A and B are shown apart, each in its own frame.
Chain A
Amino acid sequence: MTERLRQSARRLLEEGKVQVVIGYGAAGRPALITRAEDAGKLEWNDRCLANLAVYLTRKDVKALGKAAIVVKGCDERALVVLEKESQIDRAALYVIGMACDGVDAPKCARCQVHLPRFADEVIGEAAQTATAAPGPNGLDRLMAKSSAERWAFWSGEFARCVKCYACRQVCPLCYCERCIADKNRPVVIDTSASPKGNFAWHITRAFHLAARCVGCGECTRACPAGIPLGLLNRSLAQATEEHFGYRPGMDPQAEPVFGAWSPSDKEDFIG
């Protein structure tokens, strides 16, 4: 698969179809390949954890020119949402999908998209098509607790937050030019890594990602304090699915919950 990936990247760069290939290099670290002769630096292995879609909205990367991007099925869901939110021009992007039986990440146990579905080309074949209904997970265990216990859980977790914003920076859907956490005239969210500042930040972020988060789990992976931030997003994703039958990034035809209105929208859960 690695060889086919390199060939494809080399061809795209040689033919001038793209100016940069956003892929994985040594040890699975993200790599931005701009020269055909460097295509050999691309790798595909179980350390390819990052969701590279985050680079598509970054000014420095956009400045490199037309891009090809290497995605796993899970990462690809972010492309669907980015397109829906008019952040990328899908037609101008070349997507190299990698069939994936799981990388070295706990989230892979819940994977539903081993095979990218909308890529311009898919490399490899996945042995698995969809993981059998996953058993009770961290979210189920947490939601089984009382609200007081959940408050205690998050108080303990957020106490370790240092406000490094790795959760935001790795998130492919946190593309705001100026994040609410950086607003200082006036300050909206205390910049302090205090209980108040940390709760305000994580709750605001979770709500801003409601019905948008594709569950790639990058926030959890990136957190240097080991806070399972993805649980917040997954709980909102579960609510979105339950109330609106919507799963972000799964169906390019589906209208995003916050981007569409219908007279039949439920209102009984408000209040």
Chain B
Amino acid sequence: MSPVLSVAELSELVAGWIGQGKFVAAPVQVGDRLMYQALATAGQAVFAPKRRPSNSIKEFFFPRHEPIFRYRLEGKEIALSDVIPEECEQIVIAAKPCDAAALPILDHVFNWDFEDGFYTARRARTTVVTLACAAHDDACFCTSVGAGPEDESGSDAMLFDLGDGKFEVRAITEKGRALFGGAASTEPRPSGSGLAAEKKFDAARVARYLEANFESPLWKELTLTCLGCGACAYTCPTCHCFDIVDEGNAAGGSRVKNWDSCQFPFFTLHASGHNPRAVQPQRQRQRLFHKFLIYPQKFNAVLCTGCGNCERNCPVGLGVLKVLEAIDGEQRRRDEKEPVQA
């Protein structure tokens, strides 16, 4: 096979993987939305979507709800049992580079002071095939956080849409090569399709503002309209907070790990009744601080891939971009008045 595959050939490959009992996920049309979902049939996959799926691929590694062990109450004894891990191979295909780029970012978090076995096992048994991005919308800003439409970070192989239902396949890692065999080229590809979103803010300048402005009237001014749902965090490829709760009845149950969001008031509510983040602008500030100052200081990367899902999914059109543009502008004005010492 040549390193160019038609939609029919791709579809055949996917059908083969599904037939072998592998878990395959891809963008799927759900009503008027495009969402990453597990495929029941190869025909459901949208290989060259015109827009970004409204969720992210993180849930194939870090599910929204996951039992970590089970318990049974037997008289006065409590019997614990492990959750038997799934071992099936996973393939995510036609993912956006801004989704895949979140994986190396998440790897740091789930392997930093403690190795999260559930996450790392899924990472190990998953191959991620991205589709180089050929379009962007107003909410996209990957180029402002150091990523790009052909960013290979987190991808095992990348598809390039050649038009006319043809895709060039390029293997990036050993896993990607193994998945496509001879059908993938390993030659570097001339980059720069010229379709990248323009740079909308300077992440370093934003970090400088954050460092000096934990208290600022701007937070309230820019984010008071936030209604405090978790649509941004839950569709974000990089947001990774979770809560651990016990769920069950008098006989037993499971200890489960569930997605959580710093935008919920209960995220920080103390047992005493005190809430250190009492109002929504403080919670919005936290989200931005974590993404653009705290995580970068710890892991030397921004906790954001510029996918724009936070804005597209926000019921009040907020997202991080509008706030970042505003604080970037504010810091630029300050720098002009008082130039930074080189």
Residues of A within 8 A of B (CB): 27-32, 50, 54-55, 58-61, 160, 162-166, 168-170, 182, 184, 187, 190-194, 197, 218, 221-222, 224-226, 228
Q: A27 touching B317 by the CB < 8 A rule?
A: yes
Q: Is B247 an interface residue (CB 8 A)?
A: yes
Given contacts A166-B230, A224-B54, A226-B32, contact A193 B258 (CB under 8 A): yes
Q: Is B121 an interface residue (CB 8 A)?
A: no
Given contacts A29-B317, A29-B318, A187-B247, contact A166 B229 (CB under 8 A): yes
B interface residue count range (under 10 / 10 to 19 / 20 to 34 / 35 or more): 35 or more
Q: A222 touching B229 by the CB < 8 A rule?
A: yes
Given known contacts A163-B234, A192-B256, what 13 new A-B pairs fall within 8 Å (CB)?
A: A29-B317, A31-B225, A162-B235, A163-B64, A164-B230, A166-B230, A192-B247, A193-B258, A222-B229, A222-B315, A224-B54, A226-B31, A226-B35
Contact sample, A vs B, 16 pairs, CB 8 Å cutoff = A28-B317, A54-B227, A61-B224, A160-B30, A164-B230, A164-B261, A166-B229, A166-B231, A166-B315, A169-B227, A187-B245, A190-B247, A224-B55, A224-B231, A224-B313, A228-B31
Chain B residues closer than 8 Å to A31, beta-carbon distance: 225
Chain B residues closer than 8 Å to A58, beta-carbon distance: 227
Q: How far is the CB of A55 from chain B (nearest CB, A)?
A: 8
Given contacts A27-B317, A197-B65, contact A165 B247 (CB under 8 A): no
Given contacts A164-B234, A224-B54, A226-B54, contact A182 B266 (CB under 8 A): yes
Q: Is B306 an interface residue (CB 8 A)?
A: no
Chain A contact residues: helix, strand, loop or mixed: mixed
Given contacts A165-B229, A165-B230, A222-B229, contact A30 B65 (CB under 8 A): no
Q: For the complex, give the distance between the alpha carbons of A58 and B226 in Å.
A: 11
Chain B residues closer than 8 Å to A54, beta-carbon distance: 227
Q: B225 touching A32 by the CB < 8 A rule?
A: yes
Chain A residues closer than 8 Å to B35, beta-carbon distance: 160, 225-226
Q: For the complex, give the distance between the alpha carbons of A184 and B234 in Å.
A: 21
Q: How far is the CB of A203 from chain B (nearest CB, A)?
A: 18
Q: For the complex, give the distance between the alpha carbons of A178 and B45 in Å.
A: 41
Q: A163 touching B259 by the CB < 8 A rule?
A: yes
Q: For the complex, give the distance between the alpha carbons of A221 and B316 in Å.
A: 11
Chain B residues closer than 8 Å to A170, beta-carbon distance: 227, 229, 315
Q: Is B33 an interface residue (CB 8 A)?
A: yes
Given contacts A193-B65, A224-B55, contact A60 B281 (CB under 8 A): yes
Q: Which of B33, B281, B317, B318 has the most CB of A within 10 A?
A: B317
Q: A50 touching B316 by the CB < 8 A rule?
A: yes
Q: B231 touching A29 by the CB < 8 A rule?
A: no
Chain A residues closer than 8 Å to B231, beta-carbon distance: 164, 166, 222, 224
Q: How far is the CB of B22 from chain A (nearest CB, A)?
A: 21
Q: Is B126 an interface residue (CB 8 A)?
A: no
Given contacts A164-B231, A224-B234, contact A32 B224 (CB under 8 A): yes
Contact among A27, A50, A192, A197 with B315 in the assembled complex (CB-CB below 8 Å): A50
Q: For the complex, give the distance between the alpha carbons of A55 and B316 in Å.
A: 11
Q: Is B92 an interface residue (CB 8 A)?
A: no
Q: For the complex, give the distance between the alpha carbons of A114 and B329 in Å.
A: 40
Chain A residues closer than 8 Å to B280, beta-carbon distance: 60
Which residue of A has the minimal Cβ distance to B31? A226
Q: B258 touching A29 by the CB < 8 A rule?
A: no
Q: Is B279 an interface residue (CB 8 A)?
A: yes
Q: For the complex, give the distance between the alpha carbons of A30 and B314 in Å.
A: 11
Which residue of A has the minimal Cβ distance to B279? A60
Q: How far is the CB of A270 from chain B (nearest CB, A)?
A: 29
Q: Is B243 an interface residue (CB 8 A)?
A: yes
Which residue of B has the minimal Cβ distance to A182? B266
Q: How far is the CB of B138 from chain A (nearest CB, A)?
A: 9
Q: Is B228 an interface residue (CB 8 A)?
A: yes
Q: For the complex, give the distance between the alpha carbons of A30 and B316 in Å.
A: 6
Q: Is B128 an interface residue (CB 8 A)?
A: no
Chain B residues closer than 8 Å to A218, beta-carbon distance: 315
Q: How far is the CB of B17 from chain A (nearest CB, A)?
A: 22
Which residue of A has the minimal Cβ distance to B225? A30
Q: Which of B64, B233, B243, B280 has the most CB of A within 10 A?
A: B64
Q: For the complex, give the distance between the alpha carbons of A135 and B35 in Å.
A: 30
Q: A162 touching B234 by the CB < 8 A rule?
A: yes
Q: Which of A30, A184, A187 has the most CB of B within 10 A?
A: A30
Q: For the complex, give the distance between the alpha carbons of A211 and B70 in Å.
A: 41
Q: How far is the CB of B149 from chain A (nearest CB, A)?
A: 23
Q: For the complex, give the distance between the alpha carbons of A168 and B258 in Å.
A: 19
Q: For the complex, give the distance between the alpha carbons of A13 and B248 in Å.
A: 54
Q: B229 touching A164 by the CB < 8 A rule?
A: yes
Hey, what's the 0/1 contact readout for B55-74 against A, CB within 8 Å counting as 1? 10000000011000000000
Given contacts A165-B230, A190-B247, contact A221 B279 (CB under 8 A): no
